[in-house]
C-alpha cells in the first residue's frame, strides 16, 4: 500500500531548497575564512566550527542529536576560550561565525521538530540559546549587547518554527490515528453485517436440507456442500477483517454492495459534476468478488470521486474502470489535472485516503494515489483474487 502524499514536484522543490541553503551556508563559510585570515588568533576556530556545522546540518537525518551536540560543544568551547584569552590579554576580540550561527539555528529547528521525547528536544533547544549568547560575548565590547539581542531573536524565530512544525506533525499523527480508529469501527460494522448475512444463509440451507432429507435423500449431499461453502466464505471474510478490529457496535445496514451500486454512484456524480465514464470488464461478475471487497470498492470509488469534486472541480473528464488484473481485481479512477490542482502542493494530504488505505490493506490489497505517467491524477486499488477471478 502506498498513498503518495508528497508528489514528485514537491520533492524536487525541497531538494532545490536544500541545495540553495547549502550554497548560502558555503558563502557564509567563505566569509568566515576571510575574517579568520584577518584576525588569526581570535577567529582561528570559527571556519572549522562552521564547516562541521554545515556537515551536521546536511547529515541531520542520520546524526541529528550527535551532530547538534558536537557543533554546540565546539562553539561553547571556542567562546569560553576566546573570552578567557581576551581577559588575560593573550588574544584580540573575536566574533561568532556566520556559518556557525546559522547552522546552530537550523539544527534548533530540526531538533524541536523531530527529536523524541519532547523534553529532550526542549533541553537541546535551551542549550542552543545559551551557546548563541556565549558566542555573542566573544567581542567583550558594547557590540556584545546588540549581538546578544539578535542572537536571541534568531533563536526565538528558530524555536517558533521548529515548535510549529512539531505541532503540525503531531496534529497529523493524531488525525491519522483517529481516521484509522473510525475505519476500524466501520469494518466492525461490516463484520457484523457479513457474519449475519452468511450465518442466515447457512441456517436457511440447513433447514432446507432437513426438509428434503426424508423425501429426497439424493439431494442431501448437494445441500451439505452448499452449507460447507457458505461456512468457508464466512470464515474467509472474518479472517480478513478481524485482525484489524479493536471494537464493534451495533449496525442495521444492508450487508454488502453490488456492481450496480457502483454504477449508480458514478451516475449520480456525473449528473452534478464532470462527465464520468465507468467500465466493468466483460465477464467480471459479483460472484467473483467477496462481499467485503465489493463494499470496499464502493467506499474507495466514493472517496476518489469526492476528491475529484474537492480538488479538481473544473476537470473535463473522469474515468473509472474495474477489471481483473495482477492476479486479482483493480479499481482505477483517473481525472484530468492541471498545475493549479491543489493536490500538487499539498504537504500532508487529506485523511480520507488514509482510512481507505487502512481498509484496503486489511483485505490484503494495496492503494496508490498520485500523478500518473500520462499526467492525470490516479487512484488505484488492488485486491487479491478471492473466488477465482476468471474474467479475461
Q: CA distances (Å), 390 to each of 257, 284, 288, 290, in order?
A: 20, 7, 8, 14
Evaluated on CA atoms 313, 357, 164, 11, the torsion sign reads negative
Encode 193-225: b = buried (16+ Cβ within 10 Å), e = exposed. Answer: bbbebbeebbeebeeebeeeeeeeeeeeeebee
pLDDT at 47 over 50: yes
CA dist., res. 47 & res. 100, Å (int): 8
At residue 31, the pLDDT reads 87
At residue 247, the pLDDT reads 37
CA dist., res. 135 & res. 292, Å (int): 64
**Per-residue pLDDT reduced to its tens digit, 172-185:** 888 877 777 776 77
CATH of 259-384, one of 3.30.565.10, 1.20.1090.10, 3.30.379.10, 3.30.1360.40: 3.30.565.10
**Per-residue pLDDT reduced to its tens digit, 114-167:** 988 899 999 999 999 999 999 888 876 666 788 888 889 999 999 999 999 999
What are the residue boundaries of the structural domains of the chain, listed by start? 9-141, 180-242, 259-384
pLDDT at 203 over 60: yes
Q: What's the pTM value of the predicted model, to 2 decimals?
A: 0.57
Amino acid at each position: 500500500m502506498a498513498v503518495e502524499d508528497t508528489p514528485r514536484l514537491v520533492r524536487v522543490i525541497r531538494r532545490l531548497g536544500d541545495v540553495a541553503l547549502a550554497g548560502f551556508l558555503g558563502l557564509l563559510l567563505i566569509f568566515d575564512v576571510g575574517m579568520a585570515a584577518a584576525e588569526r588568533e581570535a577567529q582561528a576556530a570559527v571556519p572549522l566550527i562552521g564547516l562541521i556545522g554545515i556537515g551536521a546540518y546536511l547529515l541531520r537525518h542520520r546524526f541529528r542529536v550527535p551532530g547538534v551536540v558536537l557543533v554546540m560543544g565546539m562553539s561553547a568551547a571556542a567562546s569560553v576560550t576566546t573570552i578567557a584569552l581576551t581577559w588575560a590579554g593573550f588574544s584580540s576580540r573575536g566574533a561568532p561565525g556566520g556559518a556557525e550561527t546559522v547552522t546552530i539555528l537550523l539544527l534548533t529547528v530540526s531538533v524541536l521538530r523531530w527529536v523524541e521525547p519532547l523534553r529532550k528536544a526542549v533541553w537541546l533547544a535551551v542549550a542552543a540559546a545559551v551557546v548563541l549568547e556565549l558566542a555573542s560575548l566573544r567581542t567583550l565590547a558594547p557590540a556584545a549587547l546588540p549581538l546578544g539581542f539578535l542572537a536571541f531573536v534568531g533563536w526565538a524565530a528558530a524555536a517558533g518554527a521548529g515548535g510549529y512544525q512539531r505541532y503540525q506533525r503531531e496534529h497529523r499523527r493524531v488525525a491519522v490515528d483517529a481516521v484509522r480508529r473510525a475505519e476500524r469501527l466501520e469494518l466492525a460494522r461490516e463484520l457484523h453485517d457479513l457474519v449475519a448475512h452468511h450465518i442466515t444463509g447457512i441456517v436457511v440451507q440447513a433447514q432446507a436440507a432437513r426438509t428434503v432429507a426424508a423425501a429426497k435423500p439424493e439431494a442431501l449431499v448437494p445441500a451439505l456442500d452448499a452449507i460447507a461453502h457458505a461456512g468457508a466464505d464466512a470464515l474467509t471474510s472474518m479472517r480478513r477483517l478481524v485482525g484489524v478490529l479493536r471494537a464493534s457496535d451495533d449496525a442495521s445496514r444492508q450487508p454488502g454492495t453490488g456492481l450496480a451500486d457502483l454504477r449508480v454512484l458514478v451516475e449520480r456524480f456525473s449528473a452534478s459534476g464532470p462527465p464520468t465514464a465507468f467500465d466493468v470488464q466483460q465477464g467480471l461478475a459479483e460472484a467473483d468478488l467477496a462481499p467485503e471487497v465489493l463494499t470496499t470498492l464502493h467506499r474507495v470509488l466514493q472517496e476518489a470521486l469526492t476528491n475529484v469534486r474537492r480538488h479538481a472541480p473544473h476537470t473535463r473528464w473522469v474515468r473509472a474502470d474495474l477489471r481483473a488484473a495482477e492476479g486479482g481485481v483493480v479499481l482505477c479512477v483517473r481525472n484530468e489535472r492541471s498545475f493549479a490542482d491543489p493536490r500538487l502542493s499539498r504537504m500532508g494530504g487529506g485523511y480520507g485516503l488514509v482510512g481507505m488505505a487502512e481498509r484496503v490493506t486489511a483485505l490484503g490489497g494495496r492503494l496508490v494515489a498520485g500523478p500518473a505517467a500520462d499526467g492525470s491524477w490516479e487512484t488505484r486499488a488492488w485486491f487479491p483474487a478471492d473466488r477465482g477471478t476468471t474474467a479475461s
